[in-house]
């Protein structure tokens, strides 16, 4: 039995949901693929798949074996790629997980330049604001914003993650400009709906630390929705500089309480590129991370814009 071929065939059957479709994708006869998987089950001494005339499903043993088989095949594929990449420029398919708004504002405009610089790389971008499993989604590289959770992932910091307090000129003209954190209790503050209970914004400044309970008539679970509402005069927002830097520079939003550090005392956050340890030697992963770091700059261009 060709163990590697049988393992690959088994994974393909699971991913495609059946023998016939998997066999077509692999360019082989269904009967040949069936024999391979049967031989694998005989070798392991257990049933991996429940078969019926309409469907193929994993047994408990099959589910455990599938998870490990996928990792083994990916590790082997990555080993092959890393060896082939040692000679010549970076090449191959690069699958990247990105936060939606950040990708739209800061990654999408940069993609044409990267593809011109690395003509042998193909990109597959996976946009999601959820915490994506790099293993399950077969992601080579992810950009993550905020505090990194403890994990086995390799991380490289691309930029700090700063928040800026701001409001539109129209709102400030109508409601006045807050001069101290305590003034925010008299303003409409736009907040995130996924924060349960009372919402507090923390400040550190000339007179020490303050925690202000903020309130307002608008909550949302999307930062771009709150940004748009703030530009249209709905209230005061506390937003990442990467999201509103261009708005501050253009005069659509005005910075507030510049003498105060916002969310003081919280864990240090950042914008990171993360990847699995087995991608450490990947030239294409390094190429994309280096490209982003150079393009963003230090400090990043959106922080420079937000200082305007």
Checking if the pLDDT of 75 tops 80, the result is no
Q: Flag the least confident range among 186-195, 259-268, 272-281, 293-302.
A: 259-268
Burial 39-65 (b: 16+ CB within 10 A, else e): bbbeeeeeebbeeeeeebebeeebeeb
pLDDT above 90 (res 171) = yes
Q: Cα separation of 307 and 164, whole Å?
A: 10
Q: What is the mean pLDDT of the segment spanning 108-132?
A: 94
pLDDT at 229: 97
Q: What is the pLDDT of residue 223?
A: 92
Confidence (pLDDT) at 85: 60
Domain 89-161+269-306 in CATH 1.20.1250.20: no
State yes or no: pLDDT of 82 exceeds 70: no
CATH class of 163-262: alpha beta
38 Cβ partners below 8 Å, 6+ apart? none
Grade residue 17 by pLDDT with cuts at 50, 70 and 90: confident
235-270: pLDDT as tens digits: 999 999 999 999 999 999 999 998 888 875 455 579
Give just the sign of the alpha carbon dihedral 173, 178, 184, 186. negative
* Contact between residue 36 and residue 5 where contact means Cβ atoms under 8 Å apart: yes
- Boundaries of CATH 3.40.190.290 in the chain? 163-262
> Residue 246: what pLDDT?
94
Question: Residue 130's pLDDT is what?
Answer: 86
Cα 291 to Cα 175: distance, rounded to the nearest angstrom: 43
Q: When comparing pLDDT for 170 and 7, which is higher?
A: 170
Quick one: pLDDT band at residue 196, thresholds 50, 70, 90?
A: low
What is the model's pLDDT at position 195? 67
Average pLDDT over residues 91-119: 95
CATH fold of 3-84 reads: Arc Repressor Mutant, subunit A (1.10.10)
Per DSSP, 22 falls in state: H
CA angle 208, 212, 215 (to 5 degrees): 165
Give me the pLDDT at residue 271, please: 95
Can you tell me the distance from the alpha carbon of 107 to that of 123, in angstroms, rounded to the nearest whole number? 12
Report, as an integer, the average pLDDT of 77-90. 70
pLDDT at residue 131 in the model: 84
* Average predicted confidence (pLDDT) for the chain: 88
pLDDT of 13 over the 60 cut:
yes
Q: Report DSSP state, residue 109.
A: G
Tokens at 187, concatenated: 């303003």
Q: What is the pTM of this model?
A: 0.73
Whole-angstrom Cα distance, residue 54 to residue 58?
Answer: 14
Q: Give residue 113's pLDDT band: very low, low, confident or very high (50, 70, 90).
A: very high
Q: What is the mean pLDDT of residues 173-188?
A: 95
């Amino acid at each position: 039995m060709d163990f590697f071929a049988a393992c690959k065939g088994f994974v393909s059957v699971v991913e495609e949901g059946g023998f016939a479709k998997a066999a077509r994708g692999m360019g082989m006869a269904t009967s040949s693929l069936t024999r391979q998987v049967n031989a694998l089950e005989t070798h392991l001494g257990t049933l991996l798949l429940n078969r019926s005339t309409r469907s193929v499903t994993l047994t408990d043993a099959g589910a455990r074996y599938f998870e490990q088989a996928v990792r083994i095949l990916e590790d082997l594929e990555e080993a092959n790629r890393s060896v082939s990449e040692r000679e010549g420029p970076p090449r191959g398919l690069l699958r990247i997980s990105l936060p939606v708004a950040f990708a739209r504002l800061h990654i999408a405009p940069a993609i044409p330049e990267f593809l011109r610089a690395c003509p042998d790389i193909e990109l597959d971008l996976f946009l999601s604001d959820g915490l994506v499993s790099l293993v399950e989604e077969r992601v080579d590289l992810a950009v993550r914003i905020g505090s990194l959770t403890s994990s086995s992932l390799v991380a490289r910091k691309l930029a700090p993650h700063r928040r800026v307090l701001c409001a539109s000129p129209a709102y400030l003209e109508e409601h006045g400009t807050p001069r101290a954190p305590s003034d925010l209790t008299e303003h409409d503050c736009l907040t995130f709906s996924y924060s349960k209970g009372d919402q507090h914004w923390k400040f550190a400044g000339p007179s020490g630390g303050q925690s202000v309970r903020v309130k307002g008539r608008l909550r949302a679970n999307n930062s771009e929705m709150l940004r748009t509402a703030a530009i249209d005069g709905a209230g005061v927002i506390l937003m990442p500089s990467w999201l509103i830097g261009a708005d501050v520079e253009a005069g659509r939003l005005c910075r507030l309480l510049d003498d105060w550090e916002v969310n003081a005392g919280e864990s240090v956050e950042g914008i990171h590129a993360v990847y699995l340890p087995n991608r450490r030697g990947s030239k294409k992963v390094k190429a994309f991370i280096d490209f982003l770091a150079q393009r963003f700059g230090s400090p990043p261009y959106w922080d420079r814009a937000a200082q305007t």
